[in-house]
Amino acid sequence: MAVYRQPGTVITDHTFQVPLDHADPGGERIEVYAREVVAAGKERDPLPWLLFLQGGPGGRSPRPLGRDGWLTRALDDYRVLLLDQRGTGRSTPANRQTLPLRGDASAQARYLEHFRADSIVRDCELIRRELLGEDGRWSLLGQSYGGFCTLTYLSFAPEGVREAFVTGGLAGLRSTAEDVYRAAYPRVERKTAAHYARYPEDVETVRAVVRHLREREVRLPGGGLLTAEAFQVTGMLLGTGTGSHTLHYLLEDAFVTGGSGLQLSDSFLAEVQGHLSFAGNPLYAVLHESIYGQRSVSPRATGWAAESVRAEFPQFDVDKPLADDAPVLLTGEMIYPWMFALDPALAPLRETAHHLAQHEEWPDLYDPDQLARNEVPVAAAVYHDDMYVDTADSLATARSVRGLRTWVTDEYEHDGLRVSGGRVLDRLIRLARGEL
């Protein structure tokens, strides 16, 4: 167990052996990694624990650089545990390199069926008992998908939770994948319109990029194919506080005149690849729609919901605006089957993802009855017109969880926890304690 220091903090590495399938505790085991962070000088203090549940799915925990970001506030009161959820970071990895060890695509999909929020929460409960003892309770901080996991925790293991904080992560308890995307496309359209209002010159630049991609094949530095539809996915940036500005600067460097005439610049393509590649978090793409599967809501497969629902919003077609001299809409947090053909990090997992998309009868992730009688203090930041998580769904869920207090704000976007320097977390701590 390694212990090391960074500015203002002491960090301890932990690894835990957990069952792949918690219904079969004597079966195969995998490793889950977590990083304990405590303020320097408080290493031996009996501090309460705060478990951080990262967004995603498929995102590893933050890699701290000393006492920075929201940790600045958290370490005043807590000993923090940054969890690499199963399959991510330093936990037993699940990606194009490791999953073939499981067998064919069907076997890989069966393996990944154990990587949703229900399994993550059961991992956390084993870790809690090992670190805190059977009767110990800890606090939860769930960002985005981590908030989904927090609702699962409060549904099935509330006895392990002292208090919970959620930032941009109150999922719709009864929403299907189709419901999620049917609400998402209009939000993305609004975000695109707001970007073009801020940077009107980007309307023509985006059109020029899309036209260029329609006329010729363009490869990214890593070998992936950049199509017009793939470029639309850069709209994912528009859900963060500085994302519109980041996109504008990306577009500034889009073209260069070379020996063969006007072409997309290497710097532009390298940056686009950084935004579009799933090499660092393949589970985000592979598991994305399955996080909405619940048999009591719909026993059917989630399918490729973002793709099928997109047909209801023809304004997202790229060819019609080119023909009509109209702005091209960007897209957001949608996973499409063609991504598994274009991205080299996803291509080997194409059939695996298809098996998961066709899987039926996903176990429920939330227990509305338990949440309705919840006794754990819960405070949640709900971001006005959050591009990633529907605000209406979040507020409906807030009303369904007994005692949950919300802070609805348009001061921050979905990344408010990360960029606020601890202010968002401080507000939620004070809400949960009844100080506000």
414 is a catalytic site residue: yes
The 3-state secondary structure of the chain reads CCEEEECCEEEEEEEEEEECCCCCCCCCEEEEEEEEEEECCCCCCCCCEEEEECCCCCCCCCCCCCCCCCHHHHHHHCEEEEEECCECCCCCECCCCCHHHHCCHHHHHHHHCCCCHHHHHHHHHHHHHHHHCCCCCEEEEEECHHHHHHHHHHHHCHHHEEEEEEECCCCCCCCCHHHHHHHHHHHHHHHHHHHHHHCCHHHHHHHHHHHHHHHCCEECCCCCEECHHHHHHHHHHHHCCCHHHHHHHHHHCCEEEECCEEEECHHHHHHHHHHHCCCCCHHHHHCCHHHHCCCCCCCCCCCCHHHHHHCCCHHHCCHHHHHHCCCCCCCCCCCCCCHHHHCCCCHHHHHHHHHHHCCCCCCCCCCHHHHHCCCCCEEEEEECCCCCCCHHHHHHHHHHCCCEEEEEECCCCCCHHHHCCCHHHHHHHHHHCCCC
Residue in 61, 91, 119, 144 annotated catalytic: 144
Spacing of C-alpha 116 from chain mean position = 12
**Cα-flanking dihedrals φ and ψ of residue 91, to 5°?**
-75, 165
Residue in 84, 343, 386, 393 annotated catalytic: 386
Q: CA–CA separation, 365 vs 388, rounded Å?
A: 19
Residue in 114, 212, 355, 414 annotated catalytic: 414
**Cα-flanking dihedrals φ and ψ of residue 105, to 5°?**
-60, -40
Active site residues: 144, 386, 414
